[in-house]
Structure 1
């Protein structure tokens, strides 16, 4: 009996208690507080409620405030018109399980089913699938980290006990004003039907919130959706990295330098490098490039490596993934003529090397420069490359972590190759390279949903 109790204690500790402590204390895999001088996030759990949610939406509209609603699936299913109104009025909708039940009390498979069912309900009403999730009571279990990797788990920086009616309006308002500042993620409730809550408690919350919104406006503070606060926080962290991130970046640069020395990588411009390269045999399957040149196993290639210091600097300057991609295109535009001249100045490369070759997760637009883009074959190399490039994206991209979650299907490394013949033909003589750049940029803008982008001509 003692043995069974001991193992039960171990399982409960590692399955439930430790993941929750790690998430709350260290912020592992969760977002709980932002970095902002003027923006804070209002978040509401347990709704929608047919009595209090409409009043809350009226109040938010009155003060031009945006919020994030983490809805319970059974309530959302019952009141789709409230979800529709949230969406139409510009608020963000997240998941709070199908029923308000702790993840500690459910198997991982059951948690996934709750989330999927609630996400389906939200999508059926709004036409948009959500990627934001708040587990009831903020409790995660051991398997949530892996199973819910496609979601952004949202916790909070402060809660006020507003689910209890006895707190009262004045005391609740006083508590809220102590955290009336930028970066905070405030947890409130627009429904009092949860176990332990008082049915009429949201009425007090609404009265205290109106006073809070008045004073926040007088302080020039803005209530924004959680995704906006996350974007601002990501940008702030990119511009002002923490000491730990700074150490990671410096270590990464040292590793890159060691790699360049170990494998003898070269560049066409030591003062302002874009690509580093080395000559090596091609080890993949035979591939027909778009210009009709066949790249075979053991053909010599010029393997390209984007300069990671430059990549990091571009990432810090770029506010969106679109800006990042366009800045990279302009860098490629600059260096391809240099590569062509380098090959022409080295006859052995001109004769023996078959193609330029590289692997990247930013692979929209390079066809306009003459590259052929292909999927990597499944295998150990593909798996390791994907892991490395995803880590790289988290470091350099302005919203790398968020983008990897929301666009996981796009964040797949692909192989890019250009025959040396095409390189020399297109870039080995004076010509208007800007056409390729503008065309590639146009493809990215269209892909991002920008309308009426003029043709390069």
Structure 2
């Protein structure tokens, strides 16, 4: 991504951030996540064993800070290298997310963490469940939006979108609060 485009994106991102209720999980340590606590209004999200998030539950809506991720991955080449680097950014940010959730004033009301992404291929080993988005309209919109972001971030730009367009479909990723805390709460880096 060229410098001028990244600068423009950063400016847009600051406006977007101010217009939403997003908050940083751990801005001092450049955590890749921004979140908002919301009431869930969709269909129940189920793992193989249980319902993780039901309508009316409070949950953490997870956002990857795409501008920051693009900046960190700038200059990298190779599909595998980019994917592994993005996965590493997510993995190293999960302990701070667990701490954020555990220390949140409404932690007892939060039932899970939910995100929407096209970067879901490495999510299951991290403890996330991956499901299709039920609404075709929402799936199309989210997929279009994430493809636009990918075309701006990826070194191959729009060509990357056309190469693997069928695999670039937005999906829901989610994890119960219990699983998040069990897996990641004690993994905080020592300072």
Instruction: Report the TM-score when normalising by structure 2.
Output: 0.88
CA distance in 2, matches of 1:358, 1:294: 13
1:315 CA displacement: 3.5
CA-CA distance at 1:291 after TM superposition: 5.2
Q: Does 1:266 align with 2:23?
A: yes
Please, what is the CA RMSD of the aligned residues? 2.1
Shift of 1:293: 3.4
Q: Is the 8 A contact 1:315 1:398 kept in 2?
A: no
Report how far residue 430 of structure 1 moved: 4.4
Q: Distance in 2 between matches of 1:369 and 1:291?
A: 17
- Residues 211-231 of structure 1: CA distance to partner in whole angstroms, max 9, x if unpaired? xxxxxxxxxxxxxxxxxxxxx
Q: Distance in 1 between matches of 2:178 and 2:48?
A: 12
Contact between 2:9 and 2:67, CA under 8 Å: does it hold in 1?
no
The one of 99, 104, 108 aligned to 1:346? 104
Which residue number corresponds to residue 355 of structure 1? 112
The one of 121, 135, 139 equivalent to 1:382 is 139
TM-score scaled by structure 1? 0.39
Work out whether residues 320 and 399 of structure 1, in 8 Å CA contact, stay in contact via their aligned partners in 2: no
User: Are the aligned partners of 1:277 and 1:305 in contact in 2 as well (CA < 8 Å)?
Assistant: yes
Gaps of 5+ in 1: 1-237, 432-457
1:257 aligned residue (9, 14, 19): 14
Inter-partner Cα distance in structure 2 for 1:308 and 1:321: 17
Q: In the superposition, relative to structure 1, how do residues 314 and 324 fare at CA in structure 2: closer, same or farther (>3 Å)?
A: farther
Aligned residues: 188
Q: Measure, in 2, the Cα distance between the counterparts of 1:316 and 1:290.
A: 37
2:80 aligned with 1:331: no
| 1:358-405 Cα distance to aligned partner (Å, 9 max, x none) | 111111111011101011123332222111111101000112322211
Point out which structure has higher relative CO (alpha carbons under 8 A, 6+ apart): 2
Q: 5+ residue gaps in structure 2?
A: none
Deviation at 1:290? Answer: 4.2
Indicate the residue corresponding to 1:300 in structure 2. 58
Hey, which bits of structure 1, 4+ residues long, moved more than 6 A? none
